[in-house]
Structure 1
């Protein structure tokens, strides 16, 4: 986003967006399914120093902070955010909402760790989760394809040994941006739904491709279920290019 190149504009937009989201969260009318799944995993994480990985699709980033209540009775959470300029905006907004980030992106063959910080981010996430923290990831971000779970999520679960929770979030009415993933922006007093599935684990002998496909299907399933609960029937992702 070109306006984000200006530090002054960046600061203004961060203040506006974080303030808007904080107030909007207070007005959402939630329906929750499977909440006990998350509660049980949170309790085990606190009792056994075993962290947890939270997965939601990239299009749900603006409502991500509402999926993990903060408090002394909850594992502390960090969010993986890319090192792009858009990522900087997201990181500043969610920090205002109480969620610190780990910065980095999934490495591809043409990337370097110096530019993307992917290798260091992965090490930081593994350490955080092994120490008992919670890690939120958007496994189809930051560049897609939309709702295609990348193997980095499987690798994090395998190396850390932490369980993965899948959370689908939807709301109606909402705004959908013209981005690659049709990011949703909540509107005040909207009907909202949060649906949980899991926990899932990755063994060292499991096929990462098969797990990525299966986990992606589970994450899309809870997303579609959340959309059904609020009556949003057009929430399916656009075709991948």
Structure 2
């Protein structure tokens, strides 16, 4: 019993709060610039809500940044690690909805749909929580269909970064790194896509995200472009 209580203390309180402290401390050192902000702002002005889409590999810089987009919800797996993440984002003001493609996804999608009706924006990790890397899973397309909202690709790129030995080569920008947050052109998902249309849309979004990440990372090799963005 005591062991169970101690484990609960670790995963519900100590790890989330300690992790969140480190995230905030590190994020406060970043020099963040927004690239192509109109792709996000035009949709927000017209609709008030949007579905942000990004890779699991790159979500770290967005944890604190997108907490400024409240009310905002995110789907997080029902795993133990997911519990820590859910606690942390909740503390920051996100609305964590528990579920993934492998467990509880249908119920989570229904919860997301209700929140969107209430005016929530949605952040979605397209290939989480365990990959395959870069593959757009069905949840993103279904959310956009249910909500009748465009998907805005959300690209984060740090000039100097740590790369971890995980399934997705998870990246964390180093302290005082320059960081770009780039918004891609909105992707509109039809309600009815016909036979094979759903899978084609998944592939289409995956290609767009891949190209945007590659193009954004390439900016760091262009000194003139970096100076233009960061001054």
Q: TM-score, normalised by structure 2?
A: 0.84
Matches within 5 A, 1:107-126: 107=102, 116-126=103-113
Distance between the aligned counterparts of 1:33 and 1:202, measured in 2?
23
Partner of 1:110: none
Partner of 2:156: 169
Deviates more, 1:161-170 or 1:150-159: 150-159
Contact residue 167 and residue 223 of structure 1 kept, 8 A: no
Contact residue 11 and residue 83 of structure 2 kept, 8 A: no
Distance between the aligned counterparts of 1:63 and 1:171, measured in 2?
8
Aligned residues: 214
Distance between the aligned counterparts of 2:129 and 2:50, measured in 1?
21
Partner of 1:106: 101
Contact residue 75 and residue 132 of structure 1 kept, 8 A: no
| Coordinate RMSD, CA, aligned | 2.2
Partner of 2:214: 224
Distance between the aligned counterparts of 1:203 and 1:98, measured in 2?
31
Deviates more, 1:189-198 or 1:126-135: 126-135
Partner of 1:12: 14
SS at match of 1:62: coil
Partner of 2:61: 63
Partner of 2:30: 28
The question of 1:87 aligning with 2:82 is answered: yes
Contact residue 52 and residue 123 of structure 2 kept, 8 A: yes
Q: TM-score, normalised by structure 1?
A: 0.80
The question of 1:128 aligning with 2:130 is answered: no
Unaligned 5+ runs, structure 2? 1-5, 223-231
SS at match of 2:189: coil
Deviation at 1:19, TM superposition (A): 1.1
SS at match of 2:172: strand
Unaligned 5+ runs, structure 1? 108-115, 233-241
SS at match of 1:83: coil
